[in-house]
Chain A
Amino acid sequence: QVQLVQSGAEVKKPGASVKVSCKASGYTFTTYGFSWVRQAPGQGLEWMGWISAYNGDTHYAQNLQARVTLTTDTSTTTASMELRSLRSDDTAIYYCARLVRGVGFDIWGQGTMVTVSS
């Protein structure tokens, strides 16, 4: 079946970087793009960015553009999100989601908890 499986929880110190992966299976990887969404404790859903799995085109949220990089690897059908210069307010659950044009984010990963603490 179609699924996205994310990498495990991370604990990082302020100023460090984190890379979260999202392994896709059950469909043709290059057909759809991926978005990354995060939810900080007690907060709502925040869209971080989108990447095309077909050609690597990206769009980033303006407030994260300088610190985030999205990539895909068609050989391993994996999407990844790297966030640099981590701060305590980056502590959140990070989700990858498949974007189907005209439908929305129809398949989600299980989420990855990233904790930033000294």
Chain B
Amino acid sequence: ETVLTQSPGTLSLSPGERVTLSCRASQTVSATYLAWYQLKPGQAPRLLIFGASSRAPGVPDRFSGSGSGTDFTLTISRLEPEDCAVYYCQQHGSPPYTFGQGTKLEIK
């Protein structure tokens, strides 16, 4: 099983700031099968990034992803108040399709 470890656990930042979220895998993950999701209270998860670096349809271009091997990042270039959410990385290359434990992003 591939364990995904996200850091930090919680972030509190101001609108307009730039933030980078980390996702580290316990073994190599093909970038093709690395995705990021956004989860807000009362809503279903939303796919943000697929293939490690491709934005899903409708996702603002302030969201970007990068990485390979065991280290992946999600960057939000200019925080907006609506970016307040929990962000999860996930690998779906081989089952079990594990999620990281999440990074909670708070907007001041």
Q: Does A46 contact B (CB under 8 A)?
A: yes
- Taking residues whose C-beta sits less than 8 angstroms from the other chain, chain A's interface range is 20 to 34
Q: Does B95 contact A (CB under 8 A)?
A: yes
Q: Does B39 contact A (CB under 8 A)?
A: yes
**Are A104 and B35 in contact, CB atoms less than 8 angstroms apart?**
yes
A contacts with B: majority SS? strand
**Are A61 and B56 in contact, CB atoms less than 8 angstroms apart?**
no
8 A Cβ contacts from B88-108 to A: 88, 90, 92, 95-102
Digitize A26-52: 1 where CB-to-B-CB distance is under 8 Å, 0 elsewhere. Answer: 000000000101010000111100100
Give the A-B pair count, Cβ closer than 8 A: 67
Tally of chain B residues near chain A (CB < 8 A): 25
**Are A111 and B47 in contact, CB atoms less than 8 angstroms apart?**
no
Contact of A45 among B1, B88, B95, B96 (CB under 8 A): B88
* Known contacts A45-B102, A95-B45, A102-B50, then 8 further A-B pairs from the complex at CB < 8 Å, ordered by chain A residue: A37-B99, A45-B90, A95-B44, A104-B92, A105-B37, A105-B45, A105-B90, A105-B92
Beyond A44-B102, A50-B95, A108-B45, whether A103 also contacts B35 by CB under 8 A is: yes
A27 CA to B100 CA in the complex, in Å?
Answer: 30
